[in-house]
Amino acid sequence: MSEEIGVTGLATMGANLARNLARHGCRVVVHNRTRARTDALLAAHGDEGEFVATGSVQEFVAALQRPRRVIVMVQAGASTDAVVQELMALLDEGDVLVDGGNARYTDTIRRTAALAEKGVHFVGSGISGGEEGALLGPSIMPGGSAEAYRLIGPLLESIAAVVDGTPCCTHVGGDGAGHFVKMVHNGIEYADMQLIAEAYDLLRTRLGMSPTEIGEVFAGWNEGDLDSYLIEITAEVLRHVDGDTGRPFVDVVLDQAEQKGTGRWTVQSALDLGVPVSGIAEAVFARALSGHAEQRAPAREVLPGPSSAPEPVADRDGFVEAVRQALYASKVVAYAQGFDQITAGAQAHGWDVDRAALATIWRGGCIIRARFLDRIRQAYTDEPDLATLLVHPYFRDAVAECQEGWRTVVVEAARAGIPAPGFASALAYYDGLRAERLPAALIQGLRDLFGAHTYRRVDREGAFHTLWSEDRREVPAG
Ligand code: 6PG
């Protein structure tokens, strides 16, 4: 059977996905709310494969054979709801509707249930890799039922990136699972970029290196354990020179990081799940801080930094290596926390998410693709019930090797007054995890004193309360 699919929403991501499908021999029926985009796609790329242009949604749906397969590539939120609503009225039992946008996973759960009432399979699918990925091979994270995956999975696998012969697409889990893991993917993306930015800042501010020189350092790092798409493009951005001014590009860009929301959603979900994704949270907050120009301006005027300028760094190469170690170790922490959130989300929602399979499909196509995802895949293959990536022998040893540099960098940053919230919080998390005793015991004591919130003891089962305002006898709780 010749494969056939409909794609509606032909902005860059949708158009590139449609082209990718057509290039793989698929008959692609295309539709866009405004017809001009459809015509533009066909005019520019119609010769890349078999496209069928349609005008109205009715025409679009009628041009597809049953069971129809449709990919929606429109803005998350109200636009997706409007398109899904419109299609729902026209689709039939057994058809498959894929939402490839960055939808909020709770919306996907809701839409899956609504379409299931009509017998239409809804597949909320994370698609990562940006515009180029959509065209040349993204990482695809479809959720939904096993039956839906049977109908759409092979087609999605055929257009995904391929690493070691394996397509970067797998059935992630039921209803919202695909968009949940894409959300966490983006959270990790935020953390990764924040850490990269801190590494850049430390090399620039502490060593006085130029962006081009730092670009060379990143290019070198990309040859080793840090080998990843984000490190690679960091080198590219840092070496770029502004055409107008001849200044380093990074110096003419306003230092206020924007966000569309997936990082924030990740942290909101993590708070609900009780998973400490501190690296992702710091990254979201660092972007928020950068955007508060109205606070930064007066603060810059009056808040003092360290009383004396720090001594120049004597061992420059050693410092560069320490920054590399801080970056690597903090990055492992961020990924470990992201995978913890996926574990908790899967448990909470009853999804059977295979973490090794997820690491496998993140090895190519997506923004966080990195050589060390192969190690993560291996770790979860060795130990499917691994408590945290940090205790797997490979990562335990790799992080331990970075520990001295990591600590040096956090101390240096604090001494020099350079903000490094990602590095510092990752180290605090690491130390928190490995601590023999945490001061949480004192928090429990305080809670019991002011609110009779009770505590458990190290030496006896049960919950207890101390009669703080009486004779300080301990009594069983309740
Ligand atoms: C991807 C990216 C993509 C998008 C981010 C940007 O995986 O291809 O994550 O989804 O570029 O959502 O997010 P912000 O605008 O919030 O940085």
β-pair type (455-456, 463-466)? antiparallel
For residue 128, give the H/E element and its range.
strand 121-128
Does the CB atom of residue 192 touch ligand 1 within 6 A? Answer: no
For 433, the token pair is 């995890």
Does the CB atom of residue 130 touch ligand 1 within 6 A? Answer: yes
What distance in Å separates the CA atoms of residue 130 and residue 16, rounded to the nearest whole number?
10
Does the CB atom of residue 126 touch ligand 1 within 6 A? Answer: no
Q: Determine which residue's CA is closest to atom 7 belonging to ligand 1.
A: 128
Q: Determine which residue's CA is closest to atom 1 belonging to ligand 1.
A: 128
3-class DSSP assignment, residue 64: coil
Among 140, 186, 284, the mutation site with the greatest number of ligand 1 atoms within 8 A of its Cβ is 186
- Expressed in angstroms and rounded, the spacing between residue 453 Cα and the centre of ligand 1 is 42
Average pLDDT value for residue range 317-338:
98
Q: What's CA 467's distance to the chain center, in Å?
A: 47
For 94, the token pair is 């057994």
Does the CB atom of residue 310 touch ligand 1 within 6 A? Answer: no
- Expressed in angstroms and rounded, the spacing between residue 186 Cα and the centre of ligand 1 is 6
Does the CB atom of residue 366 touch ligand 1 within 6 A? Answer: yes
DSSP string, 44-66: HHGGGSEEEE-SSHHHHHHTSPS
Q: Determine which residue's CA is closest to atom 10 belonging to ligand 1.
A: 128
Among 102, 105, 366, 369, the mutation site with the greatest number of ligand 1 atoms within 8 A of its Cβ is 102
Average pLDDT value for residue range 419-439:
98
For residue 257, the one-letter residue type is A
- Expressed in angstroms and rounded, the spacing between residue 262 Cα and the centre of ligand 1 is 8
Burial of 419 by CB count in 10 Å (0-12 exposed, 13-18 middle, 19+ buried)?
middle
- Expressed in angstroms and rounded, the spacing between residue 190 Cα and the centre of ligand 1 is 9
Q: What does the mean pLDDT of the chain come to?
A: 97
> Taking a C-beta distance cutoff of 8 angstroms, is the pair 87, 24 a contact?
no
> Taking a C-beta distance cutoff of 8 angstroms, is the pair 360, 161 a contact?
no
Q: Is it true that the peptide bond before 67 is cis, omega within 30 degrees of 0? A: yes
> Taking a C-beta distance cutoff of 8 angstroms, is the pair 339, 376 a contact?
yes
Instruction: For residue range 122-131, list pLDDT tens digits in order.
Output: 999 999 999 9
Instruction: For residue range 189-226, list pLDDT tens digits in order.
Output: 999 999 999 999 999 999 999 999 999 999 999 999 99
pLDDT level of residue 363 (50, 70, 90 thresholds)? very high
Does the CB atom of residue 139 touch ligand 1 within 6 A? Answer: no
- In this model, does residue 478 exceed pLDDT 90? no
Q: Determine which residue's CA is closest to atom 4 belonging to ligand 1.
A: 130
What distance in Å separates the CA atoms of residue 168 and residue 156, rounded to the nearest whole number?
9
3-class DSSP assignment, residue 163: strand
For 132, the token pair is 């180029």
Q: What is the pLDDT of residue 209?
A: 98
β-pair type (50-53, 69-72)? unpaired
What distance in Å separates the CA atoms of residue 116 and residue 119, rounded to the nearest whole number?
5
For 339, the token pair is 């995978």
Q: What is the pLDDT of residue 394?
A: 97
CA-133 nearest atom, ligand 1? 8
CA-126 nearest atom, ligand 1? 7
**How are the residues of the chain apportioned to helix, strand and coil, as percentages rounded to the nearest 5?**
55, 10, 30
Average pLDDT value for residue range 257-279:
97
Does the CB atom of residue 102 touch ligand 1 within 6 A? Answer: yes
What distance in Å separates the CA atoms of residue 213 and residue 181, rounded to the nearest whole number?
36
Does the CB atom of residue 189 touch ligand 1 within 6 A? Answer: yes
Q: What is the pLDDT of residue 309?
A: 86
Q: What is the ipTM of this complex?
A: 0.97
Among 73, 169, 262, the mutation site with the greatest number of ligand 1 atoms within 8 A of its Cβ is 262
Does the CB atom of residue 100 touch ligand 1 within 6 A? Answer: no
Does the CB atom of residue 75 touch ligand 1 within 6 A? Answer: no
Kindly list the catalytic residues.
182, 189
Q: Supply φ then ψ for residue 175, to 5 degrees.
A: 10, -95
What distance in Å separates the CA atoms of residue 196 and residue 377, rounded to the nearest whole number?
23
For residue 22, give the H/E element and its range.
helix 12-23
CA-260 nearest atom, ligand 1? 16
For 172, the token pair is 């992630």
What distance in Å separates the CA atoms of residue 330 and residue 372, rounded to the nearest whole number?
13
Q: What is the pLDDT of residue 1?
A: 46
pLDDT level of residue 146 (50, 70, 90 thresholds)? very high
- In this model, does residue 377 exceed pLDDT 50? yes
β-pair type (474-476, 463-466)? antiparallel
- Expressed in angstroms and rounded, the spacing between residue 59 Cα and the centre of ligand 1 is 32
Q: Determine which residue's CA is closest to atom 14 belonging to ligand 1.
A: 259
pLDDT level of residue 336 (50, 70, 90 thresholds)? very high
> Taking a C-beta distance cutoff of 8 angstroms, is the pair 76, 186 a contact?
no
CA-130 nearest atom, ligand 1? 8
Average pLDDT value for residue range 2-19:
96
Instruction: For residue range 47-61, list pLDDT tens digits in order.
Output: 999 999 999 999 999
Burial of 159 by CB count in 10 Å (0-12 exposed, 13-18 middle, 19+ buried)?
buried
For residue 30, give the H/E element and its range.
strand 27-31
Burial of 328 by CB count in 10 Å (0-12 exposed, 13-18 middle, 19+ buried)?
buried
- Expressed in angstroms and rounded, the spacing between residue 263 Cα and the centre of ligand 1 is 9
How distant, in Å, are the alpha carbons of 48, 117, 427, 457, 463 from that of 476? 75, 51, 38, 11, 6
Q: What is the pLDDT of residue 310?
A: 87
3-class DSSP assignment, residue 169: strand
- Expressed in angstroms and rounded, the spacing between residue 133 Cα and the centre of ligand 1 is 12
Cβ neighbour number for residue 315 with a 10 Å cutoff? 9
Cβ neighbours for 322, distance < 8 A, ≥ 6 positions apart: 404, 405, 406, 408, 409, 412
Closest CA to 197 of 283, 276, 279, 265: 283
Does the CB atom of residue 132 touch ligand 1 within 6 A? Answer: no
